[in-house]
């Protein structure tokens, strides 16, 4: 059996600190073979810089995903074509740097991990239809004699779009794992056709927060309707996500389990490399 850990969105320095303190023991506890993390909020909660992406690998993350915030840091645009451990959404335009698929060998079995972004509630982006894109990709995979086990990371804003994708891909892939809202949902399940599903894997960062950010700042923002910048929050660290167990012989999911491990975190003294996470600091 292959055990894959899907981490929620890493939110700023609190998320980095929680991972440093708790990821290794978490992987040991669950007997993890492969770790996937949403890293698009790792650098101050907005984007991920080159340095932070490399740090994730050193902490034990095998693959980093991201979507609408992935390229907020300038150096990621230049770095991602060289970084085989980072994938952007597969339904982004061909001119976008990077790739949307990771071919991985886990326990001597080939897997195809796909990063896919939904179309609802992303008005600033023009993407290929997510359903058309993944259907076309899986058809090619199904026709291939040397079949890989497909896993889909679905980064979408609405529960309805994620639930619809679950039904659309039921039995065609081992797992459909939702990201984006940074709120861990309690609807994990394995369908009768062997597809593991969860609407959202939550976040890695502060538990007593608003999506990983300081509550008072978020209240001020909504009360005033001013463009107040969100601030990091260090209240009660947590590592959220899900562990999926997959039968390598059948390519079907056997089990999915939510993860919510509380970690004691303290705010460190500010350091430039921890604050920026990229070479340019932009």
pLDDT tens per residue, range 225-238 = 999 999 999 999 99
Among 182, 179, 185, 181, smallest CA distance to 165 is for 179
- CA–CA separation, 147 and 138 (whole Å): 10
CATH architecture under which domain 2-267 falls? 4-Layer Sandwich (3.60)
pLDDT tens per residue, range 210-227 = 999 999 999 999 999 999
Query: Other CB atoms closer than 10 Å to residue 282's CB: what's the count?
Result: 11
The DSSP secondary structure of 174-224, one letter per residue, reads SEEEEESS--B-S--EE-TTS-EEES-B-EEEESSSBTTB-HHHHHHHHHH
Could you give the C-alpha distances from 135 to 91, 142, 165, 168, 181, in angstroms and in order? 11, 10, 10, 9, 24
**Given phi > 0 = left and psi -120 to 50 = alpha, else beta, which region is 140?**
alpha
Q: ∠87-93-99 over CA atoms, to 5°? A: 20
Average pLDDT (104-117) is: 98
- CA–CA separation, 35 and 57 (whole Å): 10
Question: What single DSSP character describes residue 66?
Answer: -
Q: What is the pTM of this model?
A: 0.93
Q: What is the pLDDT of residue 278?
A: 55
- Burial (0-12, 13-18, 19+ Cβ within 10 Å), 159: middle
Spatial contact of 63 and 37, defined as CB atoms under 8 Å apart: yes
Band of the pLDDT at 203, cuts 50, 70, 90? very high
Spatial contact of 212 and 203, defined as CB atoms under 8 Å apart: yes
Average pLDDT (61-86) is: 97
Residues found in the chain: 282
- CA–CA separation, 237 and 257 (whole Å): 20
Pairing mode of beta strands 175-179, 189-190: unpaired
């Amino acid at each position: 059996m292959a055990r894959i850990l899907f981490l929620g969105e890493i939110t700023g320095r609190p998320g980095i600190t929680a991972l440093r303190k708790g990821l290794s023991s978490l992987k040991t506890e669950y007997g993890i073979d492969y770790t996937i993390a949403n890293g698009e909020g790792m650098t101050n909660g907005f984007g991920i810089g080159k340095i932070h992406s490399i740090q994730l690998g050193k902490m034990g993350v095998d693959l980093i995903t991201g979507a609408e915030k992935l390229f907020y840091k300038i150096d990621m645009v230049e770095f991602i074509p060289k970084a085989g451990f980072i994938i952007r959404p597969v339904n982004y335009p061909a001119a976008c740097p990077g790739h949307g698929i990771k071919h991985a060998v886990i326990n001597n079995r080939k897997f195809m991990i796909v990063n896919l972004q939904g179309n609802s509630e992303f008005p600033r982006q023009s993407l290929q239809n997510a359903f058309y894109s993944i259907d076309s990709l899986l058809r090619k995979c199904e026709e291939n004699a040397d079949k890989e086990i497909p896993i889909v990371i679905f980064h979408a804003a609405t529960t309805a779009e994620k639930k619809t994708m679950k039904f659309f891909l039921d039995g065609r892939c081992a797992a459909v794992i939702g990201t984006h809202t940074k709120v861990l949902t309690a609807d994990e399940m394995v369908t009768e056709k062997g597809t593991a599903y969860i609407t959202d894997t939550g976040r890695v960062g502060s538990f007593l927060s608003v999506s990983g950010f300081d509550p008072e700042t978020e209240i001020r923002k909504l009360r005033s309707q001013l463009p107040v910048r969100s601030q990091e929050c260090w209240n009660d660290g947590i590592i959220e996500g899900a562990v999926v167990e997959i039968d390598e012989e059948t390519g079907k999911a056997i089990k999915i389990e939510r993860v919510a491990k509380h970690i004691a975190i303290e705010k460190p003294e500010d350091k430039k490399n921890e604050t920026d996470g990229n070479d340019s600091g932009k």
